Amino acid sequence: MNNILKKSSSFYDVYERRPGADKLTTTYCPGCGHGVLHKLIAEALDDFGVREKTIFISPVGCSVFAYYYFHTGNVQVAHGRAPAVATGIKRAHPHSVVISYQGDGDLAAIGTAEIMHAANRGEGITVFFVNNAIYGMTGGQMAPTTLIGQKTMTTPRGRTVKNEGFPICMSEIIATLKAPVFVERVMIGDTKSTMHTRQTVRKALKLQIEKNAFTFIEVLAACPSNMKMTPSRSRQWVKEVLADNFPLGVKKDISEEFEPKDLSRMVVKNSELHDTLKLETAKVDSEKIAPYQEKMINEEIKVAGFGGQGVLSLGTVLSEMGMRHNYEVSWLPSYGPEMRGGTANCSVKISKKKIGSPLVANPTVLIAMNRPSLDKFEHDVISGGLIIYDDSLIDRKPTRDDVDIIAIPATKLADELGNTKAANMVIVGALIEYKDLMSQEVVLESLGDVLKRKNLIELNQKAIIRGAEFIKNLKK
Amino acid sequence: MAKQFLKGNEAVVKGAILAGCRAYYGYPITPASEIAHAAALYMPICGGTFIQAESEVAAINMVYGAASAGERVMTASSGPGISLKQEGISYCAGSELPCVIVDIVRGGPGLGNIAPEQSDYNQVVKGGGHGNYKVIVLAPNSVQEMCDLGMLAFDLADKYRNPVYVLTDGFIGQMMEPVEFPEPIEKIPEKSWAVKGTDETSDNLITSIELDPDDLERHNQKLQQKYAIVKEQEQRAEEYRTDDAEIILIGYGIVSRILQTVVDKLREEGVKVGMLRPITLFPFPTKSMTELAKSAKFFLTVEMSNGQLVDDVRLIIEGKIPVYLYNRMGGNVPSIKEIHDEVMKLMRLS
């Protein structure tokens, strides 16, 4: 049976998107490689029956208008970013066939990071990289693949190693990565090489369709207009000169042993989302917190010490427990490098009223866990306020005489319990006992929900009790 | 409803997932990194994708891809990272792609520092990238709003096919407060324009290029019409004790929380003062602002940037009443006392 030669159905019959009167021919120059490569891709999409599933990404460059021609889903993207866009699309629709199509400036200059990392992640996409050693659309400037000595608009005396370095060999670079499955450099030169390119295009697309494999096909092609050559001369140049500088051939092929990649996502029902996100309202015994519902609490607490003393978690425990007692609460850390090794502090507000500013400039309570903190914040405490300081670490007494002062050897008490790190919870116990802020029972019961390190819960509970006992003894 | 105590940066991710977002592409940066941490933790187990991209540029282009594919998608960053994303955001606006960008602003310019600032106002509210475009900007001032406005951002993005920012400062991102989380949305809106790798969508085209000047002008006019509708319909602001106010304090984000306390303090002293907090920065809340200017003696704009917000307030007020500025920069936060004293000073002057 005779095949009727006709335009591939993966192309539009009439290029309606193309402006101007001519809706039947492409915008590509005679001799240009894009038209041929488009044709090979479209034919393969037809033959594999995947036109509907295909999403074609048009780059910046002469192929920016590939969407005039391909009757597939089309996305036009920024210069160099096609592989990143392809990533977003393929991850959303793993069943689709995503083609990332780029020229040499797009892929090997401005988009170097995007192609390297899409390749390194082994995205299930097919990359077609058209290398014609020159910028076409912008008017014949040097490409990263321009040959040594080649004259372009921006290398008017020819590319030199001294000024521009060497042409970049992308296929060889991509082939050094572990994730790419099939990497080959082919050319559109004579009929024979073009027919070989046809086979390579088909192999690459098939590997995506069947295995979600990342493949990278570099296609050496001609740009007769910018090379100022006739179409036939330019093809000859590709074959004789370009291919001599960029060796053709398979650079990597692990397609046989490559296991199909499953890109499907987890299926999670809407009804399961709250559980998955751990969105759970804490259960609190309303009888136990009843005595605290009418208390007119309005505490502004500053907690300060060395990084590593648990200053921030002292604050979060106080505020979380406050929330469980139906107080309004906020917690604000001094964040960033200060947290790593230096001093740390946080502002905690616990109030019956809605909280405006979460910042604490003049605390009602200062918890100082080291000397620099006491030095820094002592004078900010409001008159009639409270200073709690760890006198097992701080070698001076506060000088204020208009505030209440509790000296508690929190670190020493924690050491006696077996772990220095519990000093912060000793202070939690002391504070809630001294101010009667909350139910100790509720705090102890809820500690497991609040602390990250589950193996230290018992120790921390003991520390809270120890802190409270210290205050009780003080009050006696 | 479920009540939890957590960071703003975490609340915005949980809210996003409840709003149907299933893709996060981002790059780490302080003080926004906890957003990436939470997305890395929760996106995959909620049936979504998380990728730590190779760069901010790549991240926003992955967002472009996911949005083209019809997904609800987000990214997050801070000052320097947002600068890098601007190219991609311009493309998203040009191609009319809905997406959500969270900006947890830090000190600038350049590397600046990681303390809270509001100096991204201009680069976010004014578009920032190239071309005649606008993005919708929501400005939460609490952890609850990081969830609520974060969720709203996805609805607005889809409604107008436009990028939407959640713009706030390092403090709102880093602080912890109780949040009540709603039930997840049933289903994200159908997007017949997206490319989904299906026969029905194989004629769809996502693009921002229009070679012909007439075509591009028409496209631009269409965008401007859309922005006009947004200006008309989406202005949001909170007024606090403004009823009989003669002085109006204006601020967003963490500043508005401080202003609220300042207002309470001044009211106790008998000063008739109120606060206007823009919740949307684009559209700018011109309606409430113009209304309040009718009875106020003066406005005082308080910001953690070099007068970026006050420029917009002055544009609206057109010299009808004095609009003053009190600002701090570099990561310093205006204190209650500073603002209080500034109001007292201005009262003596007027």
CATH number at residue B159: 3.40.50.970
* Nearest of A150, A153, A117, A119 to residue A136 by alpha carbon: A153
Q: Are residues B206 and B100 in the same domain?
A: yes
Q: Which residues, other chains included, contact B51 with Cβ-Cβ below 8 Å and sequence gap of 6+?
A: A87, A91, A121, B24, B25, B59, B62
pLDDT digits (tens, 9 = 90+) for B176-186: 999 999 999 99
Q: B65 in helix, strand or coil?
A: helix
Task: Tally A–B CB contacts below 8 A.
Answer: 234
- Does A14 touch chain B if contact means CB atoms closer than 8 Å? no
Q: Of A114, A48, A52, which Cα lies nearest the Cα of A79?
A: A114
Of the partner residues B65, B197, B260, the one whose CB lies closest to the CB of residue A85: B65
| CA nearest to B72 within chain A | A92
Q: Do A85 and B62 touch (CB under 8 A)?
A: yes
Q: How far is CA A41 from CA A37, A60, A101, B1, B204, in A?
A: 6, 19, 11, 52, 19
Residues of chain B neighbouring A329 (CB-CB closer than 8 A): 5, 177-178
Interchain proximity B45–A77, CB inside 8 Å? no
Contact criterion met (CB below 8 Å) for A84 and B65: yes
Looking at residue A247, its amino acid is P
Cβ atoms of B21 and B49 closer than 8 Å: no
Among chain B residues, CA nearest to A75: B206
B175–A316: do the CB atoms touch at under 8 Å?
no
Q: Verify whether the Cβ–Cβ distance B54 to A116 is below 8 Å.
A: yes
Q: Given A51, A81, A277, which is nearest B202 (Cβ)?
A: A51
Contact flag B258-A270 (C-beta cutoff 8 Å): no
Query: A307 vs A12, A302, A403, B102, CA distance in Å?
Result: 65, 15, 27, 29
Query: What CA–CA distance (Å, rounded) separates B53 from B61?
Result: 10
Looking at the complex, report in whole angstroms how far the Cα of residue B209 sits from the nearest Cα belonging to chain A.
8
Q: Which of B186, B215, B233 is the last residue of a domain?
A: B233
Three-state secondary-structure class, residue B328: coil
Give, in degrees to the nearest 5, the angle at Cα A359 between A445 and A406.
Answer: 60
Contact A276 B45 (CB under 8 A): yes
Contacts of B279 (CB under 8 A, 6+ apart): B138, B139, B140, B145, B149, B236, B237, B238, B252, B285
Residues of A in contact with B171 (CB under 8 A): 332, 358-359
Rg (CA), chain B: 20
Q: What is the C-alpha separation between A437 and A350, in angstroms, rounded?
A: 9
Chain B residues in contact with A75 (beta carbon < 8 A): 65, 68, 195, 205-207
Closest CA to A358 of B181, B216, B142, B264: B142
Q: Could you report the predicted ipTM of this complex, rounded to two decimals?
A: 0.97
If asked whether residues B117 and B97 sit together in one domain, one would say yes
- Tell which of B3, B27, B62, B117 to mutate to test the A interface (max A CBs under 10 Å): B62
For residues B221 and B268, membership in a common domain is answered with no
Q: Which of B13, B176, B214, B273 to mutate to test binding with chain A, by most A CBs within 10 Å of its CB?
A: B176
From B149's Cα to the closest Cα of chain A, the distance in A is: 18
Determine how β-strand A182-187 pairs with β-strand A215-220: parallel
Of the candidates B160, B171, B105, the residue with the CA atom closest to the CA atom of residue B133 = B160
Residue B1's pLDDT is: 72
DSSP count for chain B of H helices, then E strands:
12, 16
Q: Inter-chain contact B23–A277, Cβ cutoff 8 Å?
A: no
Same domain (yes/no): B25, B91: yes
Are the beta carbons of B2 and A280 separated by less than 8 Å?
Answer: yes
**Which residues of A fall within a CB distance of 8 Å from B5?**
316, 319-320, 323, 329, 331
Query: Dihedral (C-alpha) B310, B313, B314, B320: value to the nearest 10 degrees?
Result: -140
Report CB contact under 8 Å: A73, B197: yes
The answer to whether residues B261 and B295 belong to one domain is yes
| Structure-block tokens of residue B153 | 């951002």
Residues B39 and B118 in one domain: yes
Determine the structural domain holding residue B253 and report its residue range: 238-349
Gap from A363 CA to chain B (nearest CA, Å): 13
If one counts every other C-beta atom within 10 angstroms of the C-beta of residue B232, the result is 10
Q: Which residue of A has its CA nearest to B16?
A: A277
Peptide bond into A231 cis (omega under 30): no
How far apart (Å, rounded) are the C-alpha atoms in residues A114 and A85? Answer: 9
Minimal Cα distance from A10: which residue of B?
A: B202
Query: In this structure, are residues B274 and B245 in contact, taking their beta carbons and an 8 Å threshold?
Result: yes
C-beta of residue A144 within 8 angstroms of C-beta of residue A111? no
Both B125 and B34 in a single domain?
A: yes
Inter-chain touch B54–A117, beta carbons under 8 Å:
yes
Question: At residue A182, what are phi and psi to the nearest 5 degrees?
Answer: -145, 120
| Per-residue CA distances from A339 to A307, A311, A312, A346, B39 (Å) | 6, 10, 9, 11, 23
The verdict on a CB contact (< 8 Å) between B204 and A276 is: no
Choose, out of B205, B209, B335, the residue to mutate when testing the contact with A (most A CBs < 10 Å): B205
Residue B243 distance to chain A (closest CA, Å): 19
Minimal Cα distance from A280: which residue of B? Answer: B2
DSSP string, B124-169: HHT--SSSS---EEE---SHHHHHHHHHHHHHHHHHHTSEEEEEEE
Written as six digits, the tokens of B181 are: 């989380």
* Measured distance CA(A440)–CA(A468) in Å, rounded: 9
Phi, psi of B237 (to 5 degrees): -155, 155
**Out of A78, A90, A335, closest to residue B91 by CB:** A78
Based on the domain organization, do B226 and B247 belong to the same domain? no
A56 CB neighbour count, 10 Å cutoff? 29
Looking at the structure, do residues B149 and B275 belong to the same domain, yes or no? no
CB atoms within 10 A of CB B197: 23
pLDDT in tens, chain A (476 residues): 566 678 899 999 999 999 889 999 999 999 999 999 999 999 999 999 999 999 999 999 999 999 999 999 999 999 999 999 999 999 999 999 999 999 999 999 999 999 999 999 999 999 999 999 999 999 999 999 999 999 999 999 999 999 999 999 999 999 999 999 999 999 999 999 999 999 999 999 999 999 999 999 999 999 999 989 999 999 999 999 999 999 999 999 999 999 999 999 999 999 999 999 999 888 889 999 999 999 899 999 999 999 889 999 999 999 999 999 999 999 999 865 545 556 799 999 999 999 999 999 999 999 999 999 999 999 999 999 999 999 999 999 999 999 999 999 999 999 999 999 999 999 999 999 999 999 999 999 999 988 888 889 999 999 999 999 999 999 88
CA distance A94 to chain B (A): 9
**How many structural domains are present in chain B?**
2
- Asked whether the beta carbons of A343 and A355 are under 8 A apart, the reply is no
> What SS3 state is found at B234?
coil
* Tokens (6 digits) for A417: 């319990």
Kindly give, in sequence order, each residue whose CB lies less than 8 Å from that of residue A156, ignoring residues fewer than 6 positions away. Answer: none
Residues of chain B contacting residue A90, judged by C-beta atoms under 8 Å apart: 65
Quote the CA–CA distance of A357 and B261 in Å, as a whole number.
6
Output b/e per residue, B333-346; b: 16+ Cβ within 10 A. bbbbebbbebbeeb
Q: Which of B211, B233, B255 is the last residue of a domain?
A: B233
Cβ B194 vs Cβ B68: under 8 Å: yes
The whole-angstrom distance between residue A415's C-alpha and the CA centroid of its chain comes to 42
Q: Among residues of chain B, what percentage have pLDDT more than 90?
A: 99
Distance from the Cα of B232 to chain A's closest Cα (Å) equals 30
pLDDT of residue A283: 86
Range A284-475 classified under CATH 3.40.920.10: yes
Pairing of strands B99-107, B113-116: antiparallel
Residue in this structure with the two tokens 């926004």, named with its chain if needed = B32
**C-alpha distance from residue B254 to each of A255, B259, B343 (Å):** 55, 9, 19
Q: For residue B109, is the peptide bond before it cis, meaning its omega torsion is within 30 degrees of 0?
A: yes
With contact defined as beta carbons under 8 Å apart, do B25 and B59 qualify? Answer: yes
pLDDT at position B89, please?
Answer: 98
Cβ atoms of B40 and B26 closer than 8 Å: no
Whether residues B243 and B223 share a domain: the answer is no
Question: The domain that contains B314 carries what CATH number?
Answer: 3.40.50.920
The CATH class of the A33-253 domain is alpha beta
Q: Which of B218, B233, B248 is the last residue of a domain?
A: B233
CB contact under 8 A, A93 and B197: yes
User: Mind spelling out the 3-state secondary structure of chain A?
Assistant: CCCCCCCCCCECCCCCCCCCCCCCCCCCCCCCHHHHHHHHHHHHHHHHCCCCCEEEEECCCHHHHHHHCECCEEEECCCCCHHHHHHHHHHHCCCCEEEEEEEHHHHHHHCHHHHHHHHHHCCCCEEEEEECCECCCCCCCECCCCCCCCCECCECCCCCHHHHCCCCCHHHHHHCCCCCCEEEEEECCCHHHHHHHHHHHHHHHHHHHHHCCCEEEEEECCCHHHHCCCHHHHHHHHHHHHHHHCCCEEEEECCCCCCCCCCCCCCCCHHHHHHHCCCCCCCCCHHHHHHHCCCCCEEEEEEEEECCCCHHHHHHHHHHHHHHCCCEEEEEECCCHHHCCCEEEEEEEEECCCCCCCCCCCCCEEEECCHHHHHHHHHHCCCCCEEEEECCCCCCCCCCCCCEEEEECHHHHHHHHCCHHHHHHHHHHHHHHHHCCCCHHHHHHHHHHHCCCHHHHHHHHHHHHHHHHHHHHHHC
Q: Are strands A182-187 and A73-76 parallel, antiparallel or unpaired?
A: unpaired
Q: Which residue of B has its CA nearest to A270?
A: B184
B132 and B87 assigned to the same domain = yes
Tell me if A274 and B184 make a contact (CB, 8 A cut-off).
yes
CA-closest candidate to residue A218, choices A240, A248, A185, A196: A185
B149 in the same domain as B45 = yes
Collapsing DSSP states into helix, strand and coil, what is residue B243?
Answer: coil
Using the Cβ of A51 and the Cβ atoms of chain B, whether some distance falls under 8 Å is answered with yes
pLDDT at A281: 86
Given an 8 Å threshold on Cβ–Cβ distance, is A75 in contact with B68? yes
Give the residue range(s) of CATH 3.40.920.10 domains in chain A: 284-475
The answer to whether residue A49 neighbours chain B at the CB level (below 8 Å) is: no
Interchain CB distance below 8 Å, B18 and A273: yes
Angstroms from B224 CA to nearest CA on chain A? 22
Q: Residue range B116-127: average pLDDT?
A: 96
Q: Is the dihedral of CA A18, A23, A24, A25 positive or negative?
A: negative
